Chains A and B, each alone.
Chain A
Amino acid sequence: MASLGCHFLLPLMMKSLDPRVTRLNIPEGELVPKVPLDQFGTFEVFVQIKEGKGYRHEGIVHAPNIDMAFLFAKEQFSRRMMCSGIFVAETRNVYVTAFTEDKDNVYSHIVDNIPEDGEEETYEFFHLNKRGKQHSHIGSVPAKSHQHALTLAKSEFINGDPVYNVWVIKTSDILFTNEEDKIMWDTLPDKKFRDASDYRASDKIKEFKERQQ
């Protein structure tokens, strides 16, 4: 990352129109220059938009750990009851296959990989079924590694509709919401002020026009 060598020269701060800015008491002169910090890690966010629907990749957040990533994801992706569940997983824990196109199913490129030993764990599968869309959660398989999981899934998906890309994430690398957490999606029903429907004003315009005549 390029470092910012310059010092920030601040202008003489006159009393601002913004009372919050005035309260900041921004000092005249230089601030301590910003140093490059290591960035927070990147986390992929999967959202269930409605109860009973599947989870779909929705975007990313940056956070210092997975719990905070979940918190940020909730802030970002659950406003206005647009969500009934969230998964987060650190991006570097996502195993990504190659990308294919047209009628080429990515599973036909999976090389069989059967490890001799190792412990069995479950792996979650996310498929890209259409170019330009997001990855959707398909299900999970118990396997000994990411590649092994792909080998096991191959027979099930190789003859179906083409899958263009697969993300495999170890279940234990994902932070899920569970039954007891459901309560966190209950938005107060009286937050109507957030919706366009709360701002109808055509009557007022009509009445105004009538008065003008």
Chain B
Amino acid sequence: MYGGGNTFEGIKSTGLETEDPVKLAEFEARIERGEKIEPHDWMPQLYRKQLIRMIEQHAHSEIIGALPEGTWITRAPGFKRKLALMAKVQDEVGHAQLLYGAAETLGKPREQMLDDLISGKSKYSNIFNYPAFTWADSCFISWLVDAGAIVNQLANARGSYGPYCRALERICAEESFHLKYGHHCVIHLATGSQVQRDMMQAAFNRWWPPMMHFFGPSDKASVHSEILMRWKVKMSSNDDQRNQFLDMYVPKIWELGFTLPDPNLRKNTETDKWEYTEPDWEEFKRVINGDGPCNAERLAVRRTAEERGRWVRKALLAPKTEYVAPLA
């Protein structure tokens, strides 16, 4: 599971004044009662648009997220780690399929989503624009990027759109393996030789800033995010999710004797919230807009895959032919 840190479109007007007020009230009452919205139900344009955007981003994140981990399949230390990593990458790509299917029920064709990914129009989780230099980087992703995504997805699974929730249920069922596997890898390095410990510590130092970016900037109190919360598209604020992640995983990192590169990171026992140095949101914006270490490579790989696989799709789409005896 690789979602998280969704960026929602900054829409100036909600367009709600053009919606049928009776239908809108029924729609909101349904969500209020805790019922799911299904594809055949009436829904406001804004709801449809933001859900497509969110589910599509999540699907793209699964596809692109498989690249930095996939890099390490052939170089994973030992046969067992190779098998596990292969299984994990296979799961992630399968999750993308489930999510594309859910987004399609809202009316955006799958091919268009893939087009928007490779043209750079759609976004994916920003953290995958960073490279996995070492095996320890791959372990960081398996454990903590997945953990961050789980925080996000468990929240989303309680959302209002039926097909998305059902896809997430299936996805979550496979997630426990990823998280345990990732933790197991990190524990192995933590309890190993000094070289292994140093490699893991270096990975923590490298990945901590993008991990803090993962849940996105603080939500500004706007009409827009208030509506998304009320419609159960967004289930909790970015800061709440970040806090939940820190609460669950920082103690687990510290117990292995690692440090995190933020001198201000601590839990305030009075507020019960974590305090930290404000992440560099300028860098976040710069990377999400295309200027990160791996943006170009990630998209180039997808475009090349599309171009080189095109003949297969063409051949499969060929009109049905019929067998006849050869002429000569």
Contact residues of A with B, CB < 8 Å?
A: 1-2, 4, 6, 8, 10-11, 13, 16-21, 24, 26, 31-32, 34, 36-40, 58-62, 64, 68, 75-76, 79-80, 82, 99, 131-132, 134, 191, 193-196, 198-201, 204-205, 207-209, 212
Contacts and interface: CB of A to CB of B under 8 A. Distances in A.
A18 B187 contact: no
Given A24-B301, A132-B162, A201-B183, A18 B67 contact: yes
Nearest to A27: B304
Contact of B131 (A17, A24, A40, A75): A17
Contacts of A191: 87
A10 B302 CA distance: 12
Given A131-B36, A208-B190, A37 B313 contact: yes
Contact of A199 (B167, B181, B255): B181
Nearest to B94: A76
- State the majority secondary structure of interface residues on A: loop
Contacts of B110: 39, 62
19 contacts: A2-B112, A2-B115, A17-B131, A17-B132, A18-B68, A18-B71, A31-B303, A31-B304, A60-B104, A64-B316, A76-B94, A80-B174, A132-B36, A132-B162, A134-B166, A193-B83, A200-B180, A204-B188, A209-B255
Contacts, number: 140
Size range of the interface on B?
Answer: 35 or more
Contacts of A10: 296, 300, 303
A1 B176 contact: no
Task: Identify whether the interface residues of B are mostly helix, strand, loop, or mixed.
Answer: helix
A195 B74 CA distance: 21
Nearest to A33: B307
B219 interface: no
Contact of B40 (A1, A6, A19, A99): A99
A43 to B, nearest CB: 11
B307 A37 contact: no
Contacts of B174: 79-80
B185 to A, nearest CB: 9
B101 A60 contact: yes
Nearest 10 CB-CB pairings of A with B: A132-B36, A199-B180, A199-B184, A18-B71, A64-B316, A196-B176, A196-B180, A11-B296, A196-B177, A201-B187
A208 B91 CA distance: 31
Given A31-B303, A37-B317, A132-B162, A199 B183 contact: yes
Nearest to B165: A132
B35 A132 contact: yes
B281 interface: no
Given A40-B316, A59-B101, A32 B307 contact: yes
A37 B314 contact: yes
B40 A11 contact: no
Contacts of A18: 67-68, 70-71, 297
B87 A193 contact: yes
Given A132-B38, A193-B83, A194-B87, A40 B317 contact: yes
Contacts of A61: 97, 101
B155 interface: no
B282 interface: no
A54 to B, nearest CB: 17
B133 interface: yes
B115 A26 contact: no
Given A11-B296, A18-B67, A201-B183, A194 B119 contact: no
A24 B132 CA distance: 18
Of residues A64, A132, A208, which shows the largest number of chain B Cβ atoms within 10 Å of its Cβ?
A: A132
Interface string B74-96: 11000010011001001100100
Nearest to A208: B191
Contacts of A36: 111, 115
Nearest to B181: A199
Given A8-B303, A11-B296, A198-B180, 20 more contacts: A2-B115, A4-B119, A10-B303, A13-B300, A17-B132, A34-B306, A39-B111, A40-B313, A40-B316, A60-B101, A64-B317, A79-B94, A131-B35, A132-B36, A191-B87, A193-B84, A193-B87, A196-B177, A199-B183, A212-B257
A212 B257 CA distance: 9
B118 interface: yes
Contacts of B70: 18, 20
A195 B174 CA distance: 8
Contacts of B165: 132
Contacts of B90: 79
A32 B177 CA distance: 40
B133 to A, nearest CB: 6
A91 B300 CA distance: 34
A1 B304 contact: no
B256 interface: yes
A191 B86 CA distance: 12
A7 B151 CA distance: 38
